[in-house]
Chains A and B, each alone.
Chain A
Amino acid sequence: MSDAVRAKAPVLSVEGLSIALPEGGDRPFAVENVSFEVKPNEVVCLVGESGSGKSMIAHAVLSLLPKSVDIAAGAVIVAGQDPAKLDRQALRRLRGGEAAMIFQEPLSSLNPLKRVGRQIEEMILTHQKPMPSAIEVHERVQQLLTQVGLPNPKLLEKSYPFELSGGQRQRVMIAMAMANRPALLIADEPTTALDVTTQRQILRLIDDLRRDRGMGVLLITHDFGVVADVADRVVVLRHGKVVEQGTVEEVLRSPKADYTRELIDAVPKARLDEIRRTAVHPTPLLEVIGLEKTFRVKRGLLQPPREVVAADGVSLTLYEGETLAVVGESGSGKSTLGRMIMRLTEPDGGAIRFNGQDLRQLRGEALRQARKQLQIVFQDPFASLDPRQKVGDAIARGPMAFGTSRTEAMEQARKLLVRVGLNAVAADRYPHEFSGGQRQRICIARALALKPRVLIADEAVSALDVSVQAQVLALLAELRQEMKLAMIFITHDLRIAAEIADRVIVLQKGRIVEEGATADVFTAPQAAYTRDLLDAIPGRDFFDQPGFASVTGALPTARMSS
């Protein structure tokens, strides 16, 4: 950071901000005595896990807090103004004028019934005085769409949000935010819902725009990889309090607070020296041969149905006791593969051999018996448990369906709950009483209750905070040893794949583009696509440097030269 930048007045300063939660919550303040600044041409990352209050702060900047919470103390100063003290008109000029905001879910953040061009026009028309002519506005929209790297802006401005990809939608959001050349951009988890490669593009775009315009950026994220890639300065939050703040080098290289250190350690690292090379057990347990699946999506009457190839001759072998990671971006067919192995989705062609039988030929009781040995854990621990069923029942129901007595099944369920790190009394409680990580542990217990030989984990840790993610991964690794499980680990996050898998399969549009031992795939990727994916891992440059903080907690003091 140059002295010139340092000297400039901050575009955002948060001064001793406390936001009170309504009474009866788990804590009195969502945010307590938080202070930090964002200067022009600077990216400040606000990092924390869910519930840390990071989004609350972002919302307070534009006075967008829900009605139930109040600023109890302190102030937010944006471009010299306190939004909480502005009248309506002035606040509206600030929102979208001096400060603009983009959100995590670009699909739900855009009006589904309005063409995207119109949504950007609206931003210009609201703020530019005197009102520009229709032609000027249109030109400006075209220019903005081009600036955010969208192809064919003429066609694109006429599109509805549902017709665009996730990355395109976020670019539209950014184009909209840039419309009035704001001094401050607030980005609330802008890449969390996107694929790694798209994430990298969007982060680069934000960084380029920042540099072009000397704009200050407040980026909210839970991902230290993202922090390492884009931040100038970092503010670490926990339970609404600032745990630590400083430049990215200070915080990442030599964290002062234990909590920061824990968070950094919890980042799954594609650290090559730590990738295991487990001797593969020679007996194949599950063989998938030439699996085919094409989804046909109906469109208008005249148009032929759109075909989406989810599996195009996918073959894989899973050996006993092995963990196989299936990685790929959204739409690569990785979840469909898992579902086809479970026979939850019927393949169009190919064979699935398990234990000497072709699963595709099995019907009725034989299929039921085979399924018992193949279990799956889904991504969303909130949606995959019946909210009206007690946790114990959810776990015991499986064994009971296979003839275990209720008393015995419940006894087992309690033991399993203890095994996955919960309390036995959890059996008598309902899913909503548990946190996301705890629920995922319940889902794992449920899957293991049937003593399966193969566990399919479909993005099983993707919805969890990093620290929780690390715990659940550790649990899975232990259980794998203990129960001699073979695991298919489906994930979009290559860092997780590197941490947990013996072998990796890379899927792209339903085809296997690369397959091999984890260490080989990560050190010497053969396919260009794999290299793209590896390059896109956030924070890779930073965390891969030798001597960086390792999982064992040794703290190197070497500083990155910048």
Chain B
Amino acid sequence: MIRLGSAATIGLMALSRIAQLVAVILVIATFNFVLVRAAPGDPAQVMAGQSGASDPKLLEDLRKEYGLDKPYAVQLASYLGRVVRLDLGYSYRQRRAVVDLILERLPATLLLTVTAFCLALLIGTTLGALAGLAAGSVLDTVFTVLSLVLYATPVFWLGLMLVLVFSVTLGWLPPFGYETINVKLSPLEHVLDIAKHMIMPVTSLAAIYLAIYARLMRSSIIEVAQQDFIKTARAKGLSGPSIVVGHMLRNALVPVVTVAGMQAGALVGGAVVIETVFAWPGLGRLTFDALLQRDYPVLLGIFLILSIVVIVLNLLTDLIYRLIDPRMTTGAA
């Protein structure tokens, strides 16, 4: 069969996926809009209530000012129109552009989630592979029990327990926040300071995913070990380590990559809880506050950005998947 340069194929695939992506984003934006409006609560009422009056005239004015008096369809159309122009609107509460609010918080969230994701994937697959290779041994049993415990531990509870032990009792780690404020630090000290603040939130966030990847990798390794081509490798006289590195790992990673890609989005969602527990100045906190204040533009903006992050992550997964498994590029099974 004639194969075009696989780079060209992958490039074209990426293009068509981006076109799909735009369509998906618009559908998601519509869905978000409907979902937020369908939730109980009225932003005008919240704002009017906070300013100390429940004067119908004030409510009326507020609604008019923010376009909340127009029919839903009109509101939706104008919202989608703004989304297309990359205008996420203006926050009623914070009196700032939503884009600025989100961009200000996004790096902290990405730092937290990306670190947690990479660590979970790296440590999880390594432990899983070790357990799978030594299936049935004491090591395997210990790993399996540990990952089961981690898997069953609620994220917020783990966060609170870490704070209790390492901050309150031992005093080793700062209990909350992103950095120590009101101190002069050299750039290196600053980085270390942030890293120190990250340890507990990252650990709490990564724990459950680490457990998932470890269990998945363990079963994947066990399955691959039984494949015929591993027998071929043994019959070729390869050493144990060369069989693991040369033939087992890549094959075993295929299902892990699939699941990791799907869960990367959920990880961003999990950050909301962790950021609240650790007062981490990221999107999670922003979401939480916006939710309480019925701050529609901020909520919609965050949902949209998170949706885009999830879609981009899925796209990346697809590309990585194709790099790992050549059978995917030509669509052959």
Residues of A within 8 A of B (CB): 62, 64, 88, 91-97, 100-101, 103, 105, 108-114, 122-123, 126-127, 160, 162-163, 173, 176, 297-303, 306
Interface residues of B in 1-41 (CB under 8 A from A): 1-4, 8-9, 12-13, 16
Which of B16, B324, B327, B331 sits near A160, CB closer than 8 Å? B327
Q: How far is the CB of B69 from chain A (nearest CB, A)?
A: 48
Chain A, residue nearest B327 (CB)? A162
Q: Please name all residues of chain B whose beta carbon is closer than 8 Å to the beta carbon of A88 when the two chains form the complex.
A: 239
Contact partner, B235, options A64, A160, A302, Cβ 8 Å: A64
**Hey, which chain A residues are within 8 Å of B333, CB to CB?**
162
Residue of B231, B247, B327 with highest tally of chain A CB at under 10 A: B231
Asked if B231 and A64 make an inter-chain contact with CB atoms under 8 angstroms apart, the answer reads yes
Q: In the bound complex, how far is the Cα of B328 from the Cα of A298, in angstroms?
A: 11
| Residues on the B chain within 8 Å of A105, using CB | 228
The residues of B that contact A297 with a CB separation of less than 8 Å are 331-332
Query: Scoring B residues 216 to 240 as 1 if CB is less than 8 Å from chain A, else 0, what string do you get?
Result: 0000000000011101111111110
Hey, which chain A residues are within 8 Å of B91, CB to CB?
A: none
Q: A108-B229, A126-B242, A162-B332 are in contact. List 8 more A-B contacts (CB 8 A).
A: A62-B235, A108-B227, A109-B228, A109-B231, A110-B232, A122-B246, A126-B236, A162-B333
> In the bound complex, do residue A112 and residue B4 qualify as a contact, i.e. CB atoms below 8 Å apart?
no
Given the known interface contacts A111-B251, A301-B16, the answer about A122 and B229 at a Cβ–Cβ threshold of 8 Å is: no
B235 touches A100 (CB 8 A): yes
Known: A112-B251, A113-B325, A163-B1. A299 touches B331 (CB 8 A): yes
Instruction: Tell whether, in the assembled complex, residue A114 and residue B247 are in contact, meaning their CB atoms are under 8 Å apart.
Output: yes
Check A302/B8 contact, CB under 8 A, given A92-B239, A122-B236, A126-B236: yes
A110 proximity list for chain B (CB < 8 A): 229, 232
**Closest Cβ–Cβ distance, residue B256 to chain A (whole Å):** 14
The answer for the CA separation of A123 and B13 in the assembled complex, in Å, is: 36
B252 to chain A, nearest CB (A): 10
Q: Which residues of B contact A62 (CB under 8 A)?
A: 234-235
**A372 to nearest B CB, angstroms?**
33
Q: Are A302 and B4 in contact (CB under 8 A)?
A: yes
In the assembled complex, B250 has its CB within 8 A of some CB on chain A: yes
CA A62 – CA B112 in complex, angstroms?
51
- A299 and B330 in contact (CB under 8 A), knowing A103-B231, A109-B229, A109-B232? yes
Q: Report the count of interface residues on B (CB-CB < 8 A).
A: 35
Known: A103-B228, A109-B229. A92 touches B238 (CB 8 A): yes
Interface flag for B255 (CB, 8 Å)? no
Top 6 closest pairs, chain A to chain B, by CB: A96-B237, A95-B237, A108-B228, A96-B236, A92-B237, A300-B9
Interface centre among B2, B12, B232, B242 (most CB of A within 10 A): B232
CB of A112 within 8 A of CB of B229, answer: yes
Contacts of A100 in B (CB 8 A): 235-236
Q: A111 near B231 (CB under 8 angstroms)?
A: no
Q: Are B238 and A113 in contact (CB under 8 A)?
A: no
B326 on the A face (CB < 8 A): yes
Question: Which A residues touch B242, using CB under 8 A?
Answer: 122, 126
- Would you give 11 A-B contacts (Cβ < 8 Å), ordered by A? A88-B239, A92-B237, A110-B232, A111-B233, A122-B242, A126-B236, A162-B333, A163-B330, A299-B331, A299-B332, A300-B331
B317 interfacial contact with A, CB 8 Å: no
Q: What residues of A have a CB within 8 angstroms of the CB of B75 in the complex?
A: none
Partner among A108, A113, A127, A299 whose Cβ is within 8 Å of the Cβ of B237: A127
Q: Shortest Cβ distance from A79 into chain B, in angstroms?
A: 13
How far apart sit A156 and B231, CA to CA, in the bound complex (Å)?
Answer: 23
Closest chain A residue to B232, Cβ basis: A109
A306, B238: Cβ atoms under 8 Å? no
Given A101-B235, A113-B250, A114-B247: A163 and B332 interface contact (C-beta under 8 Å): yes
Per-residue interface assignment for chain B, residues 305 to 333, with 1 indicating a CB less than 8 Å from any chain A CB and 0 otherwise:
00000000000000000001111011111
CA distance A112 to B228 in the complex (A): 11
Q: A112's contact among B3, B231, B327, B331, by CB below 8 Å, is which?
A: B327
Q: Which residues of A contact B16 (CB under 8 A)?
A: 301
A160 to B3 Cα, complex, angstroms: 12
**Do A95 and B331 contact each other (CB < 8 Å), given the known contacts A114-B247, A163-B1, A306-B1?**
no
User: In the complex, A127 Cα to B330 Cα: how many Å?
Assistant: 34
Asked if A111 and B229 make an inter-chain contact with CB atoms under 8 angstroms apart, the answer reads: yes
Question: In the complex, A97 Cα to B235 Cα: how many Å?
Answer: 9
| Beta-carbon contact of B236 and A300 below 8 Å | no
Given contacts A162-B327, A299-B330, A300-B9, contact A95 B232 (CB under 8 A): no
Mask, B240-265, CB within 8 Å of A = 1, is 00100011001100000000000000
Q: Can you name the residue of chain A whose Cβ is closest to the Cβ of B240?
A: A88
Q: Give Cα A111 to B233, complex, Å.
A: 9
Within the complex, what minimum Cβ distance (angstroms) separates B257 from chain A? 12
Closest to A118 in B: B246
* Cβ contacts under 8 Å, A101 to chain B: 232, 235
Cα distance A97–B3 in the bound complex, in angstroms: 35
Contact with A along B188-232 (1 / 0, CB 8 A): 000000000000000000000000000000000000000111011
CB neighbours of A302 from chain B (8 A): 4, 8-9, 12
CA distance A110 to B232 in the complex (A): 7
Q: Could you tell me the distance in whole angstroms from the C-beta of B163 to the nearest C-beta in chain A? A: 44
Cβ A126 vs Cβ B238 within 8 A: yes
Contact A113 B332 (CB under 8 A): no
Q: Do B235 and A300 touch across chains, with their CB atoms under 8 A apart?
A: no
A residues less than 8 Å from B233 (CB atoms): 111
- Residues in chain B near residue A162, CB distance under 8 A: 326-327, 332-333
Residue numbers in B under 8 Å from A91 (CB-CB): 237
Q: How far is the CB of B112 from chain A (nearest CB, A)?
A: 33
Q: Are A301 and B236 in contact (CB under 8 A)?
A: no
- Given A113-B325, A122-B246, the answer on whether A298 and B331 have CB atoms closer than 8 Å is yes
Contacts A103-B232, A162-B332, A300-B331 hold; do A113 and B227 have CB atoms under 8 A apart? no
Report the separation of the CA atoms of residues A66 and B2 in the bound assembly, to the nearest whole angstrom.
41
Q: Binary interface profile of B, 280-322, with partner A (CB < 8 Å = 1, else 0)? A: 0000000000000000000000000000000000000000000
Chain B residues, Cβ within 8 Å of A97: 237
Return chain B residues, CB-CB under 8 Å to A122.
236, 238, 242, 246
Contacts of B232 in A (CB 8 A): 101, 103, 109-111, 173, 176
Across the two chains, which residue of chain A brings its CB closest to B231? A64
Contacts of B330 in A (CB 8 A): 163, 299-300
Contact B237 A126 (CB under 8 A): yes
Q: Is the CB of B4 within 8 A of A300?
A: yes
Cα A114 to Cα B324 with chains together (Å) = 10
